[in-house]
Amino acid sequence: MRAGLRKRQLAKILNNEEETLAFGQSLAQGLKKGSVLALYGDLGAGKTTLVKGIVSALTGIEVKEVVSPTFTYLQLYEYAPLICHFDLYRMKTAAQFIEMGFLDYLGEEGICLIEWPERIANLLPAHTVRVELVYANEKARGVYVS
């Protein structure tokens, strides 16, 4: 189990991209203003695909238009509520997150979807929902929620 993860439970096996998008869309139904979703998983595990499903379900934006902010760290979707999609892969320290003013987004005003949350583990609110995608085989992923 990865550091920072609570006891986890297998939620589902996702066999392809379509199932990952659909799982994201189902997760979206439980999100509300103030929700923080921390997405764990290796490169290529499907974190961004999951976010695409969530964002498209909450906003109506086409899946192909949802992109990962790998080089900018943050993509905002200005809907009600505001959706903040973080990709912290390139971030070195939690201090950098704070210096960039991102801590304010973890408040109660929007929904935060965070890829590579390990980078800011000590900043995540207690109510953060943790989702981990792990390789079951070359195409399938196990998704754990805690």
Amino acid 117: pLDDT: 98
Residue in this structure with the two tokens 């902010």, named with its chain if needed: 69
Sheet containing strand 82-87, strands side by side: 9-14, 141-145, 129-135, 36-41, 110-115, 82-87, 74-77
Mean pLDDT of 117-143: 94
Distance of CA 27 to the CA centre of its chain: 11
For the chain, percent helix, then strand, then coil, each to nearest 5?
30, 25, 40
Q: Structure pTM?
A: 0.91
User: Looking at residues 24-40, what average pLDDT do you find?
Assistant: 96
How confident is the model at residue 6, as a pLDDT? 53
Q: Which domains does the chain have, with CATH numbers?
A: 9-145 (3.40.50.300)
